[in-house]
Chains A and B, each alone.
Chain A
Amino acid sequence: MIDQDMAKRMILAPLTTEMTESGIREFAKDVKNVDFYSVIVDEFYISLARELFPKKRVGTIISYPLGGFTTETNVKLIERALSFQCSEIDVSPKFNYMKSGKWDLVKKDLEAIVKAVGGKMDIVALPQVAKMTFEEIEQVCRLFLEVGIKIIKTNSGFWQGSTAIEHVKFIRRVIGKELQIEVSGGVRTKKDAEEYIEAGVDRIHSSTWKNIIGWTEEDAK
């Protein structure tokens, strides 16, 4: 039996370099009985995801996960996402600016993103907690709130390390409840998921979602 309460917290992301159209269609079959929160796909697959999940939240990624796109490209991607009525975008700040303390430049880029979105989609920002000091995490989370971004996804979950329970507790302690937290990187089992939720996480990204919600082959039938 699928744990639908847990499923409602799950953000599913069939997002790998080798993801194919057939892979997305296969994924859609797998999740047909899963009441997940949202699905995140790359720009090439937005229209397909819209077709396969007409009633679901569909999102895409912007400057993700390395934070290297120009502001102009970010704005163009936002226009594409809006044209398909996406519900959310996952955004990386400009990490090398952050690491140099050039917070004004990080802010300028984020402000352009917030302006282009115009309140029409949720913006989920990525602090890459595994690669940042706690001081940097606090600073960037405060900056997100300052520019009007109210949700973070802790890590990209790909090559950039894991989110520890300590990261979640730290963000909850220094930032409070104002920021919604989506955890990514390190949540593999239902037990992990429960621990992160207990620590204050709102939603979960995990490639092992089937394991976490108790999905079986029967659920695709």
Chain B
Amino acid sequence: MTKNEIAGYIDQTQLKIQVPLESIENICLESRLYNFATVAIHPCYIEYARRFLEGSDVGITAALAFPYGAWTAEMKEFEIRDAAAKGATDCDFVINVGALKDGNYDVLKKEADVCRKAAGNKILKAIFEVCLLTDDEIVKACEIYSQAGADFVKTSTGFIEPPTPRIVKLMSDSVKGTSTRVKAAGGIRSAADAKAMVDAGATRLGTSAGLSIYQDWIDS
């Protein structure tokens, strides 16, 4: 695998509250230097991040309806449009997990369609929070969001339990044959963790350890 291929997997993430704003500048500069796919941040910092990424190919991932996801489709539509207008290239939104658990699929289908439309040509990633879901619920959610044309189904917010490679494989198998791919996020701390997720079928990785993962990976 080439350096650029490895870098292209990485959404370098900074969603912590207890660190200064400059931590976002730092990940922008790192991502620019190594050509990571995107920086992943809270939407209120999109415009701040943009100034450090001008003229580079590094995108901006916004964490939306984050972290609970229990919003109406109308609210998600608003937030996606707002983030896109401010400069987000990737819209990662938390799905309505409660509606999924209640088997209220009409709510999810509407949400998936509304979010897809609101995101337009931006990359749309549907976050599931898989640690709260059964395998059947994960497969069902993969079906709904891939049918709606989400670019990625994404495992987790990173704030509860990390996903396992087994779950990533389940998601990857579930979206096979569609244009939807899998983003693994949460608990990916080392190059070994990252490779395990890629082997399981992930093509994007959300991690706050992007730099050391990248360096260890190209060294090995």
Contacts and interface: CB of A to CB of B under 8 A. Distances in A.
A80 B78 CA distance: 12
A68 B67 CA distance: 10
Given A22-B102, A70-B83, A17 B67 contact: yes
B23 interface: yes
A66 B19 CA distance: 12
A21 B46 CA distance: 33
Contact of B98 (A23, A77, A96, A97): A23
A73 B43 contact: yes
A15 interface: yes
A192 B219 CA distance: 52
A32 interface: no
Contacts of B167: none
B75 interface: yes
Contacts of B90: none
B43 A18 contact: no
Interface residues of B, number: 42
B43 A70 contact: yes
A20 B17 contact: no
Contacts of B102: 20-22
Contacts of B43: 68-70, 73
A21 B72 CA distance: 13
A94 interface: yes
A35 interface: no
B31 interface: no
B80 to A, nearest CB: 10
B112 to A, nearest CB: 15
B71 A42 contact: yes
Contacts of A69: 42-44, 79
B42 A99 contact: no
B98 A99 contact: no
Nearest to A99: B20
Interface in A146-166: 159-160
A68 B20 contact: no
A96 B18 CA distance: 7
The 7 closest A-B CB pairs, nearest first, are A68-B42, A42-B70, A95-B17, A100-B20, A100-B21, A20-B98, A99-B20
Tell me which of A44, A69, A72, A102 has the highest count of chain B C-beta atoms within 10 A of its own C-beta: A44
Contacts of B71: 42-44
Nearest to A73: B79
Contact of B94 (A17, A45, A73): A17
Interface of B: 15, 17-24, 41-46, 63, 66-72, 75, 78-79, 82-83, 86, 94, 96-99, 101-102, 104, 129, 132, 157, 159-160
Contacts of B20: 96, 99-100
Interface residues of A, number: 38
Given A66-B15, A69-B42, A17 B68 contact: yes
A17 B70 contact: yes
B98 to A, nearest CB: 4
A17 B82 contact: no
Interface in A8-34: 15-23
A72 B104 contact: no
A177 interface: no
A100 B132 contact: no
A38 interface: no
A96 B17 contact: yes
Contact of B68 (A15, A70, A77): A15
Nearest to A160: B17
A80 B74 CA distance: 10
Nearest to B79: A73
Interface in A164-185: none
Nearest to B96: A44
